Amino acid sequence: MTLAVRYVSARCLETAPAIGVPPGPGEVELAPAFVGICGTDLHIFHGDMDARVDAPAVLGHEMSGRVVRVGPGVEGWQPGDAVTVMPLRWDDACPACRAGHQHICQHLDFIGIDSPGAMQQRWTVPAATLVRLPDSLPLDRAALVEPTAVAVHDVGRAAVREGEKAVVVGGGPVGILIALVARAAGAEVRVVELNPHRRLLAEELGLTAWDPAAGDVSEAVRQWTGDAGADVAFEVSGAAAGVDAAVEVLGVRGRLCLVAIHPRPREVNLHRFFWRELTLIGARLYDRADFERAVTLVADGTVPAERLISKVVPLTEAPAAFTALEGGGDVMKILVDCTDNTQGAHA
Residue, of 215 and 329, whose pLDDT is higher: 215
- In sequence order, the 6+-apart residues with CB closer than 8 A to the CB of 178 are 151, 154, 155, 168, 234, 236, 259
Coil, strand or helix at 98 = helix
The C-alpha atoms of residue 220 and residue 304 are separated, in whole angstroms, by 28
Bridge partners of 54, per DSSP, are none
Q: What pLDDT is stored for residue 329 in this prediction?
A: 67
- 40 in catalytic set: yes
Q: Summarize the confidence of residues 203-225 as an average pLDDT.
A: 97
Q: How many CB atoms lie within 10 A of CB 303?
A: 26
Global pTM exceeds 0.85: yes
Q: Summarize the confidence of residues 141-166 as an average pLDDT.
A: 98
Q: Catalytic pick from 2, 15, 40, 339?
A: 40
For residue range 100-115, list pLDDT tens digits in order.
999 999 999 999 999 9
For residue range 216-271, list pLDDT tens digits in order.
999 999 999 999 999 999 999 999 999 999 999 999 999 999 999 998 999 999 99
Query: Residue type for 158, please?
Result: A
pLDDT band at residue 341 under the 50/70/90 scheme: low
Please tell me the total number of residues recorded for the chain in this structure.
Answer: 347
Residue, of 156 and 327, whose pLDDT is higher: 156
pLDDT band at residue 343 under the 50/70/90 scheme: very low
pLDDT band at residue 273 under the 50/70/90 scheme: very high
- 262 in catalytic set: no
Percent of the chain with pLDDT over 70: 97
Q: Which among 164, 206, 156 is positioned nearest to 181, based on CA atoms?
A: 156
Long-range contacts of 98-105 (CB under 8 A, 24+ apart): 102/287, 103/284, 103/285, 103/286, 103/287, 104/284, 104/285
- In sequence order, the 6+-apart residues with CB closer than 8 A to the CB of 308 are 144, 173, 176, 177, 201, 332, 333
The HSE-up count of residue 214 (CA atoms within 13 Å, CB side) is 10
> Does residue 33 have a pLDDT over 60?
yes
CB 62 within 8 A of CB 147: yes
> Does residue 117 have a pLDDT over 70?
yes
User: Across 127-229, where does the E strand assignment appear?
Assistant: 130-132, 165-169, 188-192, 208-210
Q: Catalytic pick from 43, 101, 197, 262?
A: 43
Q: What pLDDT is stored for residue 328 in this prediction?
A: 67
Q: Summarize the confidence of residues 33-61 as an average pLDDT.
A: 95
Q: What pLDDT is stored for residue 71 in this prediction?
A: 98
- The bridge status of strand 82-85 relative to strand 62-70 is antiparallel
The C-alpha atoms of residue 306 and residue 321 are separated, in whole angstroms, by 18
Average pLDDT of the chain is 95
pLDDT band at residue 346 under the 50/70/90 scheme: very low
> Does residue 342 have a pLDDT over 50?
no
Rounded to the nearest 10 degrees, how much is the dihedral formed by the CA atoms of 142, 146, 150, 156? 60
